[in-house]
Amino acid sequence: MAQLADLLRPAPPHLPDGVTFCNQTQVTRIEQRDRQWRVRTHSTLDGSDDQIAADAVLLTPPIPIALDLIAQSELTIPYELRNTLQTVRYAGCFALAAAFPGPSRLGELGGIQFKDTPVEWVTDNRMRGVSRVGPALTALTTASWAAEHDHEPDDAIIAQLLPFLRAWADGEPHSIRLHRWKYAQAMTPLSLACLVANPDAPLVFAGDAFAGAESQGIEAAYLSGMAAGRRIVQLIRRKDRFAVRRRARRYLLEVGVTGPDEAVRAETMGADRLELCSGLEVGGLTPSPGTFLEVREAVRIPVYVLLRSRVGGFTLSNCEFAALRRDADWFLQHGADGIVFGIVRHKDGLNVIDSERCRELVRLVKLAGGRAVFHRAFDFLSNPLVALEELADIGFERVQTSGRSTTAEGGAGRLAAWIAHAGSLIEIMPAGGITPGTVSHLLLETQSHSVHASLRGPTPDPSLLTTPGLGGAMGVPDAAQGRGTTSAELVQEMRQTLDRLATHSSEGSEE
């Protein structure tokens, strides 16, 4: 007579060389050491414990079980990612397993799906390669039937479900077992294909709780698994390209400027890249062609140009988009290294990327040899994690964001989560109210390697002092303070702070 363990023990699958399959094995703890994992396991067959070294960990159990393992392992993941995972809700089912002496009548596929009955599936575990003996049939109920009968004792449930197994095999069933499965179906799956919680030592969540925008159930699990595999390979290859002491690298400083004098000060004091715009006091607007040409001639570091033709939101009319396209083409033809823009649609109560227009503009930028950056319109999108993957697919180089806060410091928690999930898929650059006094804590918390800052100070304008009451009409409410311009002292202080942080982090990584 077959034992229950035989019913549940998978048959050895055909695996490629170098791949090990462990059945009847529980993962009890996962630990990160440097940029690798140690996975501790326990065999339910012989009671032995083992430890497996791994470059990456892919978690495919139901999300509550995966999060329990994370907690038991005393690991932390960004709270924004945890909150996202916890939005998934599950429906349960009953699973009734039994062995039969006679042959199965389920056919070559080893399973059959039903409609309008308490049982949704009957499968032959031996034919599916999950049991060494058979026929070993399992019946899975619908979620609604399980919810309706959850209060009934096991014997009553078995009596109602056993006829569905008897109909597909000969003889009297034995080794019968009922399992109340809490997490049978993800009812609110995430649109993400997978979720990266740690990009350096890859820790990735996947399974049927993902890819909900494309499919559900088995198909979603397959799509999610394939996407997770691609991301893990990408992350491991990226890890191999960098030295272990990655923090020894220079932090990149991008400074927002509005004219040639500011550009020269920023470059002289240590900026690595410039973003040129006008109207910084209203979030940045498209600069004039003359200003750009003067800046391009005055500096040697890369100059990216912000394109935003007006104040307000980021939905564009046909005429506004045509003008944006012309502006992009002109700046690129005259030496811009990249274009910074963001176009959004409002659809079904949600803000989403205007994919068609963004793709068209990114294609133009790349044909001209430039790079495309999605600006802080990102902070107005309804589903930022999904948006990151879409922007990467469109071809954007990076995203500027304050983490949906008025300052990047206030949005540091979200920034940390987005940077972890994005990995090498797309760069996320913190931007918004960053100062030399806040940048160290921000970069350490988010693990970003770059920062965008304006670093402006007041510059008095004597021409406004003669009639100070009219200064507000010119955008300068306080004539004595004047307008804001790039401060050489603040840029220098920011550069020095970043360099000290890089040196400190490098020394710490050597220990």
Name the helix (H) or strand (E) containing 124: strand 119-124
Q: By C-alpha distance, which of 267, 291, 397 is closest to 339?
A: 397
Are the C-beta atoms of 336 and 366 separated by less than 8 Å? no
Query: Strand pairing partners for 111?
Result: 123
What is the token pair recorded at 436? 């030399």
Q: What is the pLDDT of residue 44?
A: 84
What letter does residue 101 receive in the DSSP assignment?
Answer: S
What is the Cα–Cα distance from 232 to 433, expressed in whole angstroms? 34
Query: Strand pairing partners for 78?
Result: none
Residue carrying structure tokens 């596929």: 109
Instruction: Please spell the DSSP secondary structure of 308-338, one letter per residue.
Output: --SSS-S---HHHHHHHHHHHHHHHHTT-SE
What is the Cα–Cα distance from 134 to 177, expressed in whole angstroms? 15
Furthest-apart CA pair in the chain: how many Å? 104
What is the Cα–Cα distance from 326 to 307, expressed in whole angstroms? 11
What is the Cα–Cα distance from 100 to 162, expressed in whole angstroms? 12
What is the token pair recorded at 414? 């979200």
What is the Cα–Cα distance from 504 to 99, expressed in whole angstroms? 63
pLDDT tens for the chain, 511 residues long, are 334 444 444 445 555 666 777 777 899 999 998 788 999 999 888 889 999 999 999 999 999 999 999 999 999 898 889 999 999 999 999 999 999 988 888 877 778 888 889 999 898 887 776 666 668 899 999 999 999 999 999 999 999 999 999 999 889 998 899 999 999 889 999 989 999 998 878 999 999 999 876 666 667 888 999 999 988 988 887 655 443 344 447 899 999 999 999 999 999 999 999 999 999 988 999 999 999 999 999 999 999 999 999 999 999 999 999 999 999 999 999 999 999 999 999 988 999 999 999 999 999 999 999 999 999 999 999 999 999 999 999 999 999 999 999 999 999 999 999 999 988 889 999 999 999 999 999 999 999 999 999 999 887 777 766 676 676 666 666 666 667 899 999 999 999 999 999 887 665 554 4
What is the Cα–Cα distance from 356 to 390, expressed in whole angstroms? 11
Q: Are strands 203-205 and 57-59 parallel, antiparallel or unpaired?
A: parallel
Q: What is the pLDDT of residue 5?
A: 43
What is the token pair recorded at 313? 């939101």
Query: In this structure, which amino acid lies at residue 119?
Result: V
Q: How far is CA 239 from the centre of its chain?
A: 18
Q: What is the pLDDT of residue 239?
A: 57
Q: What is the pLDDT of residue 182?
A: 92
Instruction: Please spell the DSSP secondary structure of 329-362, one letter per residue.
Output: HHHHHTT-SEEEE--EEEETTEEEE-HHHHHHHH
N- to C-terminal Cα separation, the chain: 59
Domains, the chain, in order of start with CATH, read 1-23+90-187 (3.90.660.10), 312-401 (3.20.20.380)
Name the helix (H) or strand (E) containing 197: strand 195-198
What is the token pair recorded at 79? 């709270």
- Which residues does 171 contact at the CB level (< 8 Å), separation at least 6? 100, 101, 102
